[in-house]
Amino acid sequence: MNMDVLVSLSKRRGFVFQSSEIYGGTGSCWDYGPLGVELKNNIKRVWWRDFVQTRADMVGIDASILMHPTVWKASGHLDHFTDPMVDCRECKHRFRADHVDALPWVHYCPATKGNKFTIPAGEPCGHCGQRRTLCPNCGKGDLTAPRQFNLMFKTFMGPVEEDAAVTYLRPETAQAMFVNFDNVLQSMRLKLPFGIAQAGRSFRNEITPGNFIFRTREFEQMEIEYFVNPNDRVDGRPADEYWHDRWIEDCMAWFRRYGLSPDNLRLREHERDELAHYAKRTVDIEYKFPIGWSELMGIANRTDFDLKQHSKWSGKSLTYFDDERKEHVVPFVVEPAAGVDRALLAFMADAYREEEVRGEKRVVLKFHPELAPIKIAVLPLLKKRDDIVRTAHTIRAELARHWRVVYDDTAAIGRLYRRQDEVGTPYCVTVDVQTVGDSERGETGDFRVTIRDRDSMEQARVPIAELGAVFRELLEGAAWSQVSARYPAPPVKASGP
């Protein structure tokens, strides 16, 4: 599937817009629209619930984005958080040196009187056999030698722009968990192993951002620092190694649980020479994005590097007293670090389907119900009938006490269903003449509505009074077939599938 399809759907249906679009856009910044913000909040909410709220060994924090500048000296970001960059001397385009060979390149071929070709990444020209040496963007300029470029955004704290006031927008949420280690330990009286979680914004002045929301300069992370006693053993293995594997399994299972296909997920072990300066071992969970296999999240064993560094630079002890062994230890830490925006992109890509229904194309986002931005759409079959419209509004208001529910009467019912399919709404409710009756003909209503399942497009006729209970069951994971079996199908389908 093509990334452009997702970009276009995102804009058309209010998931993601380009930032400051009316001014021509801001490089690599994106705004989440009305449906995007719901989807993003749902991802963060289920992550927080599954990894923090429901676990006795986890707590959360919400730290400030601006931290003491020494944090970044201690963490190594000031010295090591760099990417090598090269510039084109002609068109001034800037590239990450390690990404240049992965780009298609422009070539003016001497064997064809200088004709211009765009050649796939890594391949030689089919006419003259030359390989790329010049700028891949303009095909004319030499590239400069690589220079290291620090990815942190610099700013000034307070009214005076001087060196002493320099601070940075955090490039990861992780450091706040290390500098608050002792505050959390003392205030919550925790015993190892335990973890501290945080979800929030991070900023990186990426040299080559792109691929929609995959790599941006402002993004959100969901990170956990899981502290373990390095002297403990679990199942005969060092505790840090045991917990590293446990977190890899748990994170994989989490992405599968919310709908990512196992075929689109894989693990990638970091080679020795690519390990970050703090890591003993790192494993990435990769997803088969529309741009190919790429990192969705990383799970690193950061050892005791960070606590020791912050202890050294702050002069404060950051240890844990091991009651059994009567000794102070510096815990090791396992770090599952996920990107919210990347997770959202993966969930959208995996949910996207184009199906043929009765000779027509149906676009559907098969989101897990917990992630779907809208859970239920309430639709009146006839918008000219006041009693139908009123009943639909009443049902919407009642259901909206529990879930995100919308009302829509701006098209014919078949079209309304398609619109909800395209944004991944798992269920629709249709109010029709049978629901409310026809007083002019002396017919009373049956006070039942048609509910429709997004994935099977099947319908069932459910009493209005039971809607709350039925949707609670369905949205908490019950199968449609199991719930709908208790109710009759509508005598005549309200509307096509």
Q: Rounded distance, CA 148 to CA 146, Å?
A: 7
**SS3 state of residue 192:** coil
Query: Tokens standing for 73?
Result: 């000296």
User: Which of 477, 482, 388, 467 has the alpha carbon at shortest distance from 428?
Assistant: 467
Indicate the residue among 338 and 379 with the shorter CB distance to ligand GAP.
Answer: 338
Nearer to ligand GAP, 289 or 320 (CB): 289
Q: Is 342 in the site for ligand GAP (CB under 6 A)?
A: yes
Q: How far is the CB of 285 from ligand GAP (least distance, A)?
A: 8
Q: Phi and psi dihedrals of 333, rounded to 5?
A: -130, 135
Q: Smallest gap, in angstroms, from Cβ of residue 219 to ligand GAP?
A: 4
Tell me the sheet residues that pair with 438.
Answer: 443
- By DSSP bridging, strand 427-431 and strand 376-380 are parallel
To ligand GAP, the closest distance from the beta carbon of 283 in angstroms equals 11
Across 240-249, b (16+ Cβ under 10 Å) vs e yields bbbbbbebbe
Whether 262 contacts 286, CB under 8 Å:
no
| Shortest distance, position 49 Cβ to ligand GAP, whole Å | 20
Least distance to ligand GAP, CB of residue 5, Å: 20
338 binds ligand GAP (CB under 6 A): yes
Nearer to ligand GAP, 282 or 391 (CB): 282
Q: Which stretch binds ligand GAP (CB under 6 A): 8-16, 55-63, 286-294, 338-346?
A: 338-346
368 touches ligand GAP (CB under 6 A) = no
Kindly write out the interface string for residues 19-38 of this chain, putting x where it contacts ligand GAP by CB under 6 A and - elsewhere: --------------------
Q: Which of 87, 223, 240, 306 binds ligand GAP (CB under 6 A)?
A: 223
- Rounded least distance, CB 300 to ligand GAP, Å: 7
Extract the tokens encoding 45: 């909410």
Does residue 215 belong to the site contacting ligand GAP (CB under 6 A)?
yes
Closest distance of CB 197 from ligand GAP, Å? 12
Does residue 297 interact with ligand GAP by CB under 6 A? yes
Q: Tell me whether residue 274 or residue 476 sits nearer to ligand GAP (CB atom).
A: 274
The residue within the footprint of ligand GAP, chosen from 200, 339, 424, 445 (CB under 6 A), is: 339
In sequence order, what DSSP letters do the residues of 362-404 get, joined into one string?
Answer: EEEE---TTT-S-SEEEEES-TT-HHHHHHHHHHHHHHTTTS-
Extract the tokens encoding 317.
């002890």
- Count the residues of the shown chain that bind ligand GAP, applying the rule CB under 6 A: 19
Task: Quickly list DSSP for 199-258.
Answer: EEEEE---SS-BTTTTB-SEEEEEEEEEEE-TT-EETTEEHHHHHHHHHHHHHHHHHHHT
Determine the Cα–Cα distance for residues 206 and 151; give it in Å rounded to an integer: 6
Q: Quick one: DSSP state of residue 99?
A: G
Residue of minimal Cβ distance to ligand GAP: 339
- Determine the Cα–Cα distance for residues 206 and 202; give it in Å rounded to an integer: 12
Query: Which one among 167, 221, 294, 425 touches ligand GAP, defined by CB under 6 A?
Result: 221
Work out whether 370 is an interface residue with ligand GAP (CB under 6 A): no
| By the rule CB under 6 A, 216 interacts with ligand GAP | yes
Q: Quick one: which segment of 46-54, 136-144, 212-220, 240-248 binds ligand GAP (CB under 6 A)?
A: 212-220
In the complex, minimum distance from the CB of residue 68 to ligand GAP, in angstroms, rounded to a whole number: 18
- 109: which strand partners? 115
Residue from 170, 204, 244, 448 in contact with ligand GAP (CB under 6 A): 204
Positions 308 through 337 that interact with ligand GAP (CB under 6 A): 335, 337
Q: Nearer Cβ to ligand GAP, position 291 or 433?
A: 291
Chain residues 133-172 in contact with ligand GAP, contact rule CB under 6 A:
172
40 binds ligand GAP (CB under 6 A): no
Residue closer to ligand GAP by CB (options 295, 422) is: 295
Q: Is 294 in the site for ligand GAP (CB under 6 A)?
A: no
Question: Residue 178: which of 328, 283, 278 has the closest Cα?
Answer: 278
3-class state of residue 306 by DSSP: helix
Q: Two tokens at 78? A: 């000031």
Burial 335-348 (b: 16+ CB within 10 A, else e): bbbbbbbbbbbbbb
Tell me if 90 contacts ligand GAP by CB under 6 A. no
462 phi, psi to nearest 5 deg? -120, 135
User: Taking CB under 6 A as the rule, does residue 219 contact ligand GAP?
Assistant: yes
Q: Based on CB atoms, which residue is closest to ligand GAP, 337 or 416?
A: 337
Interface with ligand GAP, residue 174, by CB under 6 A: yes
Q: Does 248 bind ligand GAP (CB under 6 A)?
A: no
DSSP reduced 3-state for 325: coil
Find, among 28, 36, 42, the residue nearest to 10 by Cα: 36
Query: What is the nearest approach in angstroms of ligand GAP to the Cβ of residue 297?
Result: 4
Q: Which part of the chain contacts ligand GAP (CB under 6 A), choosing from 249-257, 295-303, 378-386, 486-494?
A: 295-303
User: Under 8 Å CB-to-CB from 459, ≥6 apart: which residues?
Assistant: 450, 451, 452, 453, 489, 490, 493, 494
Binding site for ligand GAP (CB under 6 A): 172, 174, 204, 206, 215-216, 219, 221, 223, 295-298, 335, 337-339, 341-342
